Amino acid sequence: MMVARSERLLTLLQTLRRYRRPVTGTVLAEETGVSLRTLYRDIASLQAQGAMIEGEAGIGYVLKPGFMLPPMMFSEEELEALVLGSRWVARAAEPRLANAGADALAKIAAVLPPDMRDMVDSATLFVGRKRQDEDKADVSAIRKAIRLERILELHYGDEQGRISRRRVWPFALGYFEHVRIIMAWCELRQDFRHFRTDRIIDMTIHDTRYPRRRTILLKEWRDTQDTPIEH
């Protein structure tokens, strides 16, 4: 079965993205299922469209970071995924992130060919109603603290209404159906803990950067699937 040229070019780009070092044309041709001659033509086409592919025949090719996919590279399912994701963010996230999701989808739609733009406008994938629980804490500030690896000091209320003060190292934020959860290292417990954002009474973001890298904390947390939520 003949594969559409746009789909073939997308497959080649995705294959190149998996390699951080130059990969030979022979390997690329085998992985993408085309002849070596076709591969060289496809690489030339992508380079003409602005893809930062470096290398040459006999040596190998590497895709430099930062190349944005041209709009014709989106498949129907990819567009549906973008629309569904944007609609879910609009329902589940705080206003600032929800607006960012809508803006991102609008930017994508603005540069799509007319037929693909119609697919975005008429997408029939929807999500449920907006969550009812309201956060007292500024969730956008929590996201910023995670990005900057800053210590958060929380006044946190449990199920019984007891309030404790916690200094935590936030490294991830989970958006669930009815609640948002901060994944963090708790200095009091000396262990990983989860904190519901709707139970944060108030919080302070310290200028102090916590002593371990976020990526390391995330990796270690993934090995502890039974981390308890602070009730």
Q: Which fold has domain 5-69?
A: Arc Repressor Mutant, subunit A (1.10.10)
The per-residue pLDDT for range 105-128, each reduced to its tens digit, is 887 787 777 777 777 777 777 777
Kindly indicate the confidence band of residue 146, based on its pLDDT and cuts at 50, 70 and 90.
Answer: very high
Q: What are φ and ψ of residue 167, in 5° steps?
A: -105, 120
Q: Which residues pair with 207 in a beta bridge?
A: none
Check: CB of residue 56 under 8 Å from CB of residue 43.
no
Measured CA to CA, the distance from residue 15 to residue 23 in angstroms comes to: 10
- Asked whether residue 147 carries a pLDDT value surpassing 50, the answer given is yes
β-pairing, 150-157 vs 60-63, is: unpaired
Alpha carbon distances (Å) from 195 to 23, 94, 110, 215, 231 = 45, 17, 39, 19, 8
Separation between Cα atoms, residue 57 and residue 186, nearest integer Å: 53
Q: Is the pLDDT of residue 35 over 70?
A: yes
Structural contact between residues 165 and 215, judged by C-beta atoms closer than 8 angstroms: no
What Rg do the C-alpha atoms of the chain give, in angstroms? 23
**Residue pair 73/55 in contact by the 8 Å Cβ criterion:** no
Q: What's the mean pLDDT in 35-62?
A: 88
pLDDT above 50 (res 1) = no
Q: Which of 34-38, 54-58, 174-178, 221-225 has the highest mean pLDDT?
A: 34-38
More confident residue, 69 or 193: 193
- Of all residues in the chain, the percent with pLDDT exceeding 90 is 39
Phi, psi for residue 37 in degrees, rounded to 5 = -65, -45
Angle between helices 36-48 and 25-32 (to 10 degrees): 100
Contact 214, 173 (CB under 8 A): no
**What is the rounded distance in angstroms from the CA atom of residue 160 to the CA atom of residue 71?**
52
Instruction: Determine if the pTM surpasses 0.85.
Output: no
Q: How confident is the model at residue 213 (pLDDT cuts 50, 70, 90)?
A: very high
Note the pLDDT of residue 220: 92
Helix (H) / strand (E) containing 183: strand 180-186
Q: What is the mean pLDDT of the chain?
A: 84
Q: What does DSSP assign to residue 119? A: H
In this structure, CATH architecture of domain 139-222? Roll (2.30)
Domain definitions of the chain by residue range: 5-69, 74-121, 139-222
pLDDT of residue 133: 59
pLDDT in tens, 70-91: 555 677 788 888 888 888 887 7
Q: How far apart are CA 32 and CA 12, in angstroms?
A: 6
Tokens of 31: 């992985």
State residue 2's pLDDT score: 45
- In the predicted model, what is the mean pLDDT of residues 27-40? 92
Whether the pLDDT of residue 69 is over 60: the answer is no
